[in-house]
């Protein structure tokens, strides 16, 4: 049986390479009206927002949309009526390689080396503080960034011309700034926030993952949540939140291993699955909050567009520098908010938010000007599509 299984595995791998062989030899044409989308997780993040915008504005009358997904069984009727294919399948590869446009949120997830007449656009999933390992591997034609500053950052990372990087911002910014619906009531109900209670959203970047090797995994922590040392400290923080009339919502990073921590009266835990079940996208929730706590995650920079108080948990700053490094030469200069090192700092930040204080507003305005696109368009999606001369007919 093992011999048969090994033979079948080799055959599948060989068959899976057929579309790429055919494409390399230009043995099937590119469809100028076909657009392929990929994201992690499936139907998510910037790819989803851009696709939804195009669907809502009639682009499907001019283009055929294809989604490549890890779990096609979850979409028996397609995605909004558009066909889905499994990534790395023969059918999926044929559709991808025959698409004039490929929009992806993760740089090397499944996007193939592009063909002549095809454009692969990396939509991104965040321009953040944490460093990226230099590489010469480029599977994109253009790469969306959020300001001219990031053109230089990623040109160094990929060892390529800075003009490949387009400072247009992200489609998902529309969910924060130009929402097509109000999810406030649904989100408050999801996290159990009562009338009059403020919401502080805490989004730590991942520290420990399962099945993937990241340099920050070498850092040793005494407690799953950064900035805290024990369950007792979390309970103390919960008491602070209760007294301040604040709900602290802790959103687990999609790569972070599960925390063995239970909800408290004013501390709630939130996962991607919780949001999906509630029918709410992550960036829709940001506009429903009163403040954000994060660290080296790109969400801290995105959140500056909302001009609300922020806190940065930095108790592992030096260890993170040694393990992974930072994209910016002086990252602390670009963290306009409370620098939280321990429970006392966290408690002070919660009380500050509860009291309506915002001591870092001026510093945040400076950072926003440098880190983000200065002009805020009426629609980021519309602006991005105009740049690529894609229009509904």
DSSP E strand stretches across the chain: 31-38, 64-69, 83-86, 99-104, 119-122, 142-144, 165-166, 198-202, 246-251, 267-270, 291-294, 310-313, 338-340
Q: Report the top-level CATH class of 178-371.
A: alpha beta
Compute the distance between CA of residue 90 and CA of residue 293 in angstroms, rounded to an integer. Answer: 43
Q: What is the pLDDT of residue 84?
A: 97
Q: What is the pLDDT of residue 4?
A: 47
Question: Which residue reads 């706590």 in tokens?
Answer: 293
Residue 217 has what DSSP assignment? G
Q: Where in the chain is the domain with CATH 3.40.50.12580?
A: 178-371
Residue 354: in which H helix or E strand, if any? helix 343-354
DSSP 34-92: EEEEE-SSSS-HHHHHHHHHHHHTTGGGT-EEEEEES-GGG-TT-BTTBEEEETTSHHH
Contact predicate 97/20, CB 8 Å = yes
Residues with Cβ within 8 Å of 352's Cβ and at least 6 positions away in sequence, in order, are 309, 338, 359
Contact predicate 207/130, CB 8 Å = no
Q: What is the pLDDT of residue 137?
A: 74
Q: Where in the chain is the domain with CATH 3.40.50.11820?
A: 8-169+379-387
Contact predicate 336/312, CB 8 Å = no
Compute the distance between CA of residue 248 and CA of residue 264 in angstroms, rounded to an integer. Answer: 10
Compute the distance between CA of residue 120 and CA of residue 105 in angstroms, rounded to an integer. Answer: 11
Tokens of 223: 């407690």
Q: In what order do the strands lie in the sheet with 142-144?
A: 83-86, 64-69, 31-38, 99-104, 119-122, 142-144, 165-166
pLDDT in tens, 120-137: 999 998 999 988 777 777
Q: What is the pLDDT of residue 253?
A: 64
**100: helix, coil or strand?**
strand
Compute the distance between CA of residue 267 and CA of residue 38 in angstroms, rounded to an integer. Answer: 34
pLDDT in tens, 23-80: 554 566 899 999 999 998 899 999 999 999 999 999 999 999 999 999 999 999 999 9
The residue among 45, 92, 60 whose CA lies nearest residue 299 is 45
3-state secondary structure 316-339: CHHHHHHHCCECCCCHHHHCCCEE
Tokens of 345: 């700092």
**286: helix, coil or strand?**
helix
132 phi/psi in degrees, rounded to 5: -115, 140
Long-range contacts of 161-167 (CB under 8 A, 24+ apart): 164/138, 164/140, 166/142, 166/387, 167/373
* Spans of the chain below 70 pLDDT: 1-28, 107-114, 206, 208-217, 219, 253-260
Beta bridge mates, 86: 69
Neighbours of 119 (CB within 10 A): 15
Q: In what order do the strands lie in the sheet with 310-313?
A: 267-270, 246-251, 198-202, 291-294, 310-313, 338-340
Residue 29 has what DSSP assignment? P
Chain centre to alpha carbon of residue 29: 33
CATH topology for 8-169+379-387 is Rossmann fold (3.40.50)
């Amino acid at each position: 049986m093992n011999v048969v299984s090994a033979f079948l595995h080799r055959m599948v791998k060989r068959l899976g390479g057929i579309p790429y062989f055919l494409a390399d030899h230009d043995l099937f044409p590119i469809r100028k009206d076909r657009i392929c989308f990929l994201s992690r997780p499936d139907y998510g993040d910037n790819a989803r927002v851009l696709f939804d915008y195009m669907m809502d504005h009639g682009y499907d009358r001019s283009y055929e949309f294809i989604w490549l997904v890890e779990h096609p069984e979850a979409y028996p009727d397609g995605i909004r009526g558009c066909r889905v294919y499994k990534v790395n399948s023969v059918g999926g590869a044929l559709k991808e390689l025959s698409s004039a446009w490929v929009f992806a949120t993760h740089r090397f997830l499944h996007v193939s080396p592009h063909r002549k007449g095809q454009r692969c656009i990396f939509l991104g999933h965040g321009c953040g503080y944490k460093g990226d390992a230099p590489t010469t591997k480029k599977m994109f034609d253009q790469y969306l960034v959020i300001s001219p500053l990031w053109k230089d950052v990623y040109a160094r990372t990929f060892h390529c011309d800075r003009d490949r990087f387009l400072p247009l911002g992200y489609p998902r910014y529309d969910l924060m700034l130009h929402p097509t619906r109000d999810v406030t009531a649904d989100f408050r109900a999801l996290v159990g926030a009562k009338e009059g209670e403020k919401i502080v959203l805490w989004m730590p970047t991942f520290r420990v993952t399962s099945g993937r090797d990241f340099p920050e995994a070498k850092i040793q922590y005494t407690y799953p949540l950064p900035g805290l040392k024990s369950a007792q400290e979390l309970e103390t923080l919960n008491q602070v939140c209760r007294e301040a009339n604040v709900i602290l919502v802790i959103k687990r990073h999609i790569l972070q291993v599960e925390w063995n921590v239970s909800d408290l009266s004013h501390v709630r835990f939130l996962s991607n699955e919780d949001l999906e079940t509630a029918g709410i996208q992550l960036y829709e929730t940001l506009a429903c909050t009163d403040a954000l706590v994060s660290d080296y995650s790109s969400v801290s920079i995105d959140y500056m567009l909302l001009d609300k108080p922020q806190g940065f948990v930095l108790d592992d700053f030096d260890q993170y520098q040694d393990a992974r490094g930072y994209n910016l030469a002086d990252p602390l200069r670009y963290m306009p908010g409370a620098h939280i090192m321990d429970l006392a700092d966290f408690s002070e930040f919660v009380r500050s938010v509860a009291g309506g204080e915002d001591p870092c507003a001026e510093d945040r305005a400076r950072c926003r000007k440098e880190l983000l696109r200065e002009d805020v368009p009426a629609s980021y999606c519309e602006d991005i599509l105009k740049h690529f001369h894609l229009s509904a007919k």
